[in-house]
Chains A and B, each alone.
Chain A
Amino acid sequence: MQFMLLFSRQGKLRLQKWYVPLCDKEKKKITRELVQTVLARKPKMCSFLEWRDLKIVYKRYASLYFCCAIEDQDNELITLEIIHRYVELLDKYFGSVCELDIIFNFEKAYFILDEFLLGGEAQETSKKNVLKAIEQADLLQESQPEDWGGLANDEIL
C-alpha cells in the first residue's frame, strides 16, 4: 500500500498515512486531487479507481471516506477488506465509532492503524491481537478527567 487517507464528505482530511516518501507539496497535491475525484463519484459506482499509475480503493462509511492507494498487481478486494477491518477495529476500540471519535482522538486512530498496518503491509490481522496491543499501551496512560464540552454535533458535521 502506498498511502491511506481518511476524509469527510466535506473533503476535510481526517487522517493521512504515507508509506512512500513524498514531499509535502506532492502529498498536498495528491490529497487535493484524490479527495475531489472520489467525492465526485456516485454511490453506486465501483470502489476502484485508476489514478495516475496507481489503483485507488475507497469506501464510504457514514460521513467518512476511507481511501487507499495500491499498486497495479495488488488485490483490490483484499484492500477493501483491509479498510473494513480497520473500521471494525476502530469500532471495537471506540465502541460504535463515529467521525467525531476520529477527529478528537485522531492520535488513537493512528495508534490502531500502526498496530494493524506497518510500513504499508498488514501486520496483524487478528482483531484480538491488535486491540490487546493497544490496550496494553493505553493502560500506561494516566487517567484523565473526562470533560466533554457542550459541543453541538451539527457544528462538526
Chain B
Amino acid sequence: MSDVVEKTLTALPSLFDSQTGAAKISNRLKQLIKSITELTSKHDEESLIKQELSAMKEQVSAPSTSMKQMREIMVRSMYCEMLGYDASFSYIHAIKLAQQGGVMEKRVGYLAVSLFLSEGHELLLLLVNTVLKDLQSTNLIEACMALTVVAQVFPKDMIPAVLPLVEDKLSHPKEIIRRKAVLALYKFYLIAPNQVQHIHAKFRKALCDKDPGVMTSSLHIYLQLIQESPDAYKDLTGSFVTILKQVVGGKLPLDFNYHSVPAPWLQIQLLRILSLLGRDDQSTSELMYEVLDESLRRAEMNHNITYAILFECVKAVYTIHPKAELLEKAARCIGNFVLSPKINLKYLGLKALTYVVQHDAKLALQHQMTIIECLDHSDFTIKRETLELLFRITNAQNVSVIVEKMLDFLRSCSDEHTIIHLAGKVAELAEKFAPDNSWFIQTMNDVFSIGGDLLQQDISNNFLRLLAEGSESKEEDDQLRLYAVDSYLTLLNGDASHLPQRFIQVMSWVVGEYSHLQECVDQSEVIRLLMKLLEQKSVSSETRVWILSALTKISDGQTDLILELAESISSSQDTILRQQAHELRHLSLDSKLHEWVLPRGAAWDDMEVDSSLSFLDGFVSEALAAGAAPYKPPHQRQEELCEQRALNLEPYSFSLPVSLSSCSITDRHSPTLLSVSSGLSGNSTELSQKAGASTLILEGVKRVWGKDGYLPQKETAVTASPVDEPSAAVQPVGQQEAAERLEPQPEPSTQTNDKQQLASSLFVGLSTQSSTSLLGKSEAPPPRFRKKPRPHGSSLSSSSSSGTSEKSSSSRTSHNTTDSFLYGSLLEEEPAGFDHTPKSITANGLGQNKDVKEDRRTNTSQILGSDMVIVRPNTIQHNPSTSSDLTTLLPADLKDLPHSDVISLTSDPSLSVSSCRVFRDEALLLVIFISNSTETDIRDVAVQLNCDQLETVSLRGNIVDCLEGRSVSVCHYALLMDDPHTNVSFTGSVSYQIQPGHTNTLSFSGTLSTADFIRPLVVTTDEYGKLWLSLSHDVKQNLKLLTDAGDPLQTTLNALKDTLQLHIVDIIGSEGIVACRLLSGAPCLLHCRVNGSALAMWLRSPLPALPDCILYHCQRALAQH
C-alpha cells in the first residue's frame, strides 16, 4: 500500500497531464495556492493573504454574491485559517451557508462550521435551527450532514432541543443514519451525561443492531460507561464475549476485514471493555478466558494489526483475574514484541513489560539484555520507556544504578514535561531506597539542580518534611541533616549564581534549621554565605524571603552583622522583605524572645497545630460583641458572591475550588490559618491522592485503607509473598552469579562484559522475588527513610506550598517553620515565661493601639504576636449559671431525650430567660424558658428568635397571654442546620407588658455549634467503605491523642463520641472509623489512625465545610478533656 502512496513525487507530472479526479479545484483557490507558492518570503505571504482576506470580506457582505460563490469563498477562508490567518469574519457566513445553501453548499458550510467553531463558541447557537431542520429532512444526505456536525460540535445547552430527533434516528432504516445517531449520542454523553441518562435502554438496542457498524459505534458509549461504573454492566459480559467470538471466528462480512484481519477496531474495543469488566472479578473473568485464549491464538499473522490486537489482549490478560495458562501465553507474546527488530513493536514490548512487571517482576529478567540495549538506544522515546520500566523494578539493591541512568537521561533532556515527570520519579526512588545518607543528599541535589524550578512543589516539600520529621533515631536524623548542611555549605561556597530558585530555597531552609549541628563551621561564616546569596541579582524575591527566614533562625549572637543586614533591607521596595527585616532586627535585639520563638532543634513530632485557633476565641467573641461581622469561610463567601451577582453565568461547581493564591490571602482571616485543608477542601482530594500515589509510604501499618478508601480484608486474594530482603551488604560477585543463573543467554558471545555487568547491577534483587507474586503487586521493601505518614495539613507543607506567592501572608512565608514551633509551644499548657510580655515586634497593620493589652486582641493575623496569651473560653460565652431545677420543666416528651444543661441567657428585674438544647433525632430543639421573677402577672409575652443561618422547622408556645408570678413558660424551636458553620449565633427578644399598653423588650443571644446538629450515623464497615469512596471533600489533621487511660485510640474516640455524638463504626488495630451526620442528612466520615503520639484524623463529607467544622469541635473536645 505505501508504495502506492509514496510515489507522490514521481506521479506528479502525469497527474497534471491526465487530469484525474484531483483536477477539480476551484479557480480562485488554485490561483491563491499558486501565488502563495510563488512567494519567497513569509512577509510576502502575509501581505498577499491579508489582501485576499479583505477582498473576501468585501465579497461576502455584497448582496450580489451567489451561494455558489459563497461556497468558494468559504473554501478559501478555510485554507487561510489553516495557514494560521484569522478569517473570523466568515464564521457567521459559514452558518448562513449551511442554513440557506443547496446540498453542496450545505456540505461546505457544515464543514466550515465544524472547523471554525469549537465547543462553546457563541455562534453555534445560530446553528441549532438549521440542524433541527436538516434532521427532519427526508433527504438522507442532509440528515447525514446534520448528524455529522452534531457529533462534532454542538452547544451543550441546546442538546434537549435536538435529542428527540436524534433518538428517533436510532430506528432509522438506513444504517449510516443509525450509526451517526449513535455517535451523536456518544458526543452528548461526553459533554452532558445527565441529558442522555434516560436513553440507556436505547444504547442496548444499538448494541444489538443487525448492522456491525452501528454495533461498533455503540461500543464507544459502552466503553465510556463501563469505565465509569463497571459493576453496572457486568450482565453484558456474555454479550460482549459472544460478539468477540463471532468476530474472531470470521463471522462478519468481508468488508470489515482489514488486511485479512476481521474488524480489528471492533476487536480492540471489545478487549478493552472486557478487561474493564473482568478486573478484580473472578466470576466475570472466567467468562472470558476462552475467548481471550482464542484471540491470542488467532493473532499469528505477522502484521501490525495483529500486533495491535495482541497487545490489547496481553493487557486484558494481565488486567483481569489471573489465569496461569493465559499469563504464560501472554508473557510469550510480550517476548515477541520485545525481541522484534521493528522498533514500534519493541516500544510496545517495553510498554507491556512496564505494565506487567508490577505483577511479575521476573519477566523483566528474561529480557534484561534487550532492556539494556534499549537503555542506550538513540531514540528518545525508547529510552524514556525503558527508564519507566526500570523505575518499576527498582529495589534497594539496584537503586543507585537505575537512578544514575535516569539522571544521565535527564541531563541530556530538554523536554519540560519529561523533566518534571522523571525528576519526580528519581526523588521518589531516592526517598524509598536510598542506600546511605550521602547518596541520598547527593541525588536530591541532582534532582534539584537538574529539575530546577520546573519541579513540582511537593518534591521539595516532601524532602524538607523528611529531614524535619526524621525517623525513630535522633542520631541518624542528625547525621542526615549534617550531611545536607555540609553539602549545601560546599555548594554555596562555590558559584551559586546558576542554582535554581527552588534549590536555593531548600538549601537556605536546611542551613537555617540545622547549621548549628555542624560545630566546626562558624555561624558567622554561614550568615556571610546567606548574605552573599541575598545580594545576587538572580535570586527572586520569594527566595529572598526563604533566605531571610533562615538568617532569622541563625542570627542569634551575631547582632552586628544582622543589624547591618536588617538596616540595608529595610529600605527595600518589597514590603514583605521590609517586614521581615523589621522582625529580624527585633529578634536579634531580644535574645530571650528569639530563643522562645525559634527554639533550636525542637522536635517536630509532638507538634500539634491548633487549626481552630481556639486561643483566639476570646478575641473573636469580643470583636463579635463589639459588632464585628461573624467569620464566613471562603467557600461560603464565594457562594454569596455568586448569589450577589445579577446574572450568574458560571456553573456553580466551578466557583468552588478556591485557587491557591486567593486562598493564601483569605487564610489570613480563616480560623484555620495554618491548615490549608480548610481553604483547599475543594481540591484537597486531588492533592492527597497525588501524595498517596507518589510519596506517602505507609509501611508497617496493616493496610486497611488504600488510596481509594477502605480495603476489605481479603486475605486470600492478596497473597503476595513478602519480598525476601537479601542482606544489606551488597556482594557483587554473588549478584552476578544470581543474575547469570537466571538469565537465559541465547548468544553469549555477542554480549559484552560491560552489558552483563550492567545487567547484574540493574536486575539484582528481582530474582529473589517469588513468582507467585502474580496475584498482586509485590510489597515494596521497607524504605530507608521511614517517613512518618502525615496528613496533608501538616504545617510545613501547608505553609510552604501556599507560601509560593508573594501575596501570601508575610509572617507565614517568613516563618515557614517557626510558626509551627510557635504553635507547638503555644499549645502546651500555661506557658511559664509569658509574663515578660515583649513589645509587639511585628509591623502590625492593625495594631494602631500602643497599649499592650489592646495589642493582644488586634494581633489576629500575626503569628509572631507573642503576646497572644492562650485564652481558652468555654463553649458558650454567657455565664453558664446552671439552674438545674428548670430542666424539670421540660415537656414530658422531651425529658428523656439527651439534653444540655440549662443556661441563663439574660434577665431583667421582671423576667429571666434561659435555654436548653435538646438533641432530638431529626432536629435540635432549642427550649427557651421564660421565668417571671416577680410576684405579679406579666402579660402578652412573646418570644421572637432570629437566626439567619439556621432553618426553623417548628416552634411551640412562643406567645403567652399571661405569665403568672413566679411561674415559668416554655417555648421551643426545632432547628436545622443546612450549611455547616462551626458556630452559629442566634438572637432573640422577649416582649412583654407589665402594665397594659407599655411593652418592654428583653433581648437575648446565644451560640449554637455544629456539635449540636450532628447525630451518630449508624453504618456497617462495608457501607462505610463504600460511602467513603463516594465522598469528595476531605480534610486531614493531626489531633491530640488521649493517653491518660487504657487504650489511647479507644479512649480518644470515646471522648469524642461523648462530646460530639458520633458513632464508632469499627476499630481495627490502630485505626478507627467513625461516622456522623448533619441533621439535614449529609454524612461525615472520620478515619482516625494512631500516628505516634498523635491521632491522624481524615474526614470526608459531601459538604465542603462540614469536615472543617467537625474537626474544629473534635479539637476542642480533646483540648478540654
Contacts and interface: CB of A to CB of B under 8 A. Distances in A.
Interface string A88-115: 1001011111111101111100110010
Contact of B379 (A45, A75, A122, A155): A45
Contacts of B84: 13, 28
B186 interface: yes
A13 B384 CA distance: 28
A141 B141 CA distance: 12
A21 B308 contact: no
Interface stretch (B176-184, B496-504, B863-871, B962-970): B176-184
Contacts of B27: 147
B14 to A, nearest CB: 10
A126 to B, nearest CB: 4
Interface stretch (B111-119, B604-612, B636-644): B111-119
Contacts of A156: 33, 37
Contacts of B217: 121, 123
Given A51-B417, A121-B186, A148-B16, A141 B104 contact: yes
Nearest to A141: B104
Contacts of A151: 16, 30, 34
Contact of A80 (B78, B258, B304): B304
Contact of B344 (A17, A47, A53): A47
B251 to A, nearest CB: 15
Contact of B381 (A46, A91, A149): A46
Interface string A113-132: 01000110111111111000
A95 B20 contact: yes
A106 B78 contact: yes
A111 B111 contact: yes
A13 B15 contact: no
Given A84-B1, A155-B37, A106 B82 contact: yes
Interface residues of B, number: 93
Contacts of B892: none
B343 interface: yes
B729 interface: no
**Max chain B CB contacts within 10 Å: which of A48, A82, A107?**
A107
B93 to A, nearest CB: 15
A118 B111 CA distance: 12
A107 B151 contact: no
A77 B308 contact: yes
Interface in A30-57: 42, 44-53
Nearest to A133: B176
Given A124-B179, A153-B13, A13 B104 contact: no
Contacts of A88: 1
Nearest to B256: A126
Interface string B161-200: 0000000000000001001100100110010000000000
A145 to B, nearest CB: 9
A75 B344 contact: no
Contact of A123 (B6, B8, B183): B183
Contacts of B107: 111, 137
B742 interface: no
Given A28-B84, A118-B151, A78 B268 contact: yes
B213 interface: yes
B104 A140 contact: yes
Contacts of B13: 153
A13 B304 CA distance: 27
Interface in B51-78: 75, 78
Contacts of A101: 21-22
A50 B381 contact: yes
Interface residues of A, number: 84
Contacts of A22: 118
A48 B22 contact: no
A119 B190 CA distance: 10
B1002 interface: no
Interface string B145-161: 10010011000000000
A80 B344 contact: yes
B919 interface: no
Contact of A21 (B120, B140, B258): B120
B381 A48 contact: yes
Contacts of B415: 51
Nearest to A153: B12
A81 B308 contact: yes
**Max chain B CB contacts within 10 Å: which of A114, A146, A151?**
A114
B282 interface: no
Given A63-B8, A111-B107, A149-B34, A75 B141 contact: no
Nearest to A44: B343
Nearest to A85: B258
**Max chain B CB contacts within 10 Å: which of A16, A78, A146, A150?**
A78
Nearest to A77: B308
B705 interface: no
Contacts of B307: 77
Given A128-B255, A153-B12, A104 B33 contact: yes
A135 B152 CA distance: 22
Interface in B296-352: 304-305, 307-308, 311-312, 343-344, 346-348
Contacts of A94: 20-22
B452 interface: no
A2 to B, nearest CB: 13
Contacts of B255: 126-129
A99 B34 contact: no
Contact of B34 (A28, A93, A106, A155): A155
Given A77-B307, A100-B15, A157 B9 contact: yes
Contacts of B2: 61, 84, 87
Contacts of B312: 75, 78
Contacts of A157: 8-9, 12
A63 to B, nearest CB: 6
A81 B104 CA distance: 31
Interface in B267-288: 268
A121 B220 contact: yes
Interface string B74-94: 010011001110100000000
A13 B79 CA distance: 10
A17 B153 CA distance: 12
B954 to A, nearest CB: 50
A140 B141 contact: yes
B569 interface: no
A104 B29 contact: yes
Nearest to A99: B8
**Max chain B CB contacts within 10 Å: which of A91, A124, A140?**
A124
B263 interface: yes
Interface in B1045-1088: none
Contacts of B258: 81, 85, 125
A106 B217 CA distance: 26
B265 A78 contact: yes
Contacts of A51: 415, 417
19 contacts: A24-B86, A46-B381, A61-B5, A62-B5, A77-B348, A78-B312, A84-B1, A87-B5, A94-B21, A96-B11, A98-B9, A100-B12, A107-B75, A118-B183, A123-B217, A133-B176, A140-B104, A144-B24, A146-B19
Interface of A: 13-19, 21-24, 28, 42, 44-53, 61-64, 75-78, 80-82, 84-85, 87-88, 91, 93-101, 103-107, 110-111, 114, 118-119, 121-129, 133, 136-137, 140-142, 144, 146-151, 153, 155-157
Interface of B: 1-2, 4-9, 11-13, 15-16, 19-27, 29-30, 33-34, 37-38, 75, 78-79, 82-84, 86, 103-104, 107-108, 111, 114-115, 118-120, 140-141, 144-145, 148, 151-152, 176, 179-180, 183, 186-187, 190, 213, 216-217, 220, 253, 255-256, 258, 263-266, 268, 304-305, 307-308, 311-312, 343-344, 346-348, 378-382, 384-385, 415, 417-418
Q: Which 3 A-B pairs have the closest CB atoms?
A: A77-B308, A62-B8, A98-B8
Given A78-B264, A106-B78, A107-B75, 6 more contacts: A50-B417, A62-B5, A77-B307, A98-B12, A107-B108, A118-B151
